[in-house]
Structure 1
Amino acid sequence: MTMMDTPWVKATASDANGNCVEMRRHRGAIEIRDTKDRGEGPTLTLAPRAIASWLEGARRGEFTHLANR
């Protein structure tokens, strides 16, 4: 069974200048893009299992140190 495609979803943590990412499900994969570069910018395409693993790591705080400035 193929999952339905979804519209782009913008992160709720986005600031007023649009510094954030958007994600969607498209053709069975998860796509990620920079909201400032929607038209011509690159899109990262990952398998749903890869995103699920990343999200689990994020929930456990494995990547928090990357956001520290």
Structure 2
Amino acid sequence: MKTVDDAVWFKSSYSNGNGNCVEVAYLGDAVAMRDSKQHGTGPVLTNTAEGWRSFIASVANGEFGEL
């Protein structure tokens, strides 16, 4: 399995370039997330791939309110 040190980070295609974005990296069976303003100096959250899919589905279904 890849580690965070091996991660290839990307931003959403919806990013508007203002620096307020989340970056995501796929690590095999896990997904890592970080604040793009930190560029590797801040904390990294990881979750299982299934947990990530569930989170994205919840956001898409509006379960966290209006964004």
**TM range, smaller chain:** 0.7 to 0.9
- Whichever of the two has the greater Rg, that structure is 1
TM-score, normalized by length of structure 1? 0.72
Runs ≥4 in structure 1, deviation > 4 angstroms? none
Q: How does 1:17-32 map to 2 (within 5 A)?
A: 17-32=18-33
Amino acid at match of 2:40: G
* 3-state SS of paired residue (1:64): coil
Gaps of 5+ in 2: none
TM-score, normalized by length of structure 2? 0.74
Distance 1:64 1:13, change over 3 A: farther
Q: Percent identity?
A: 37
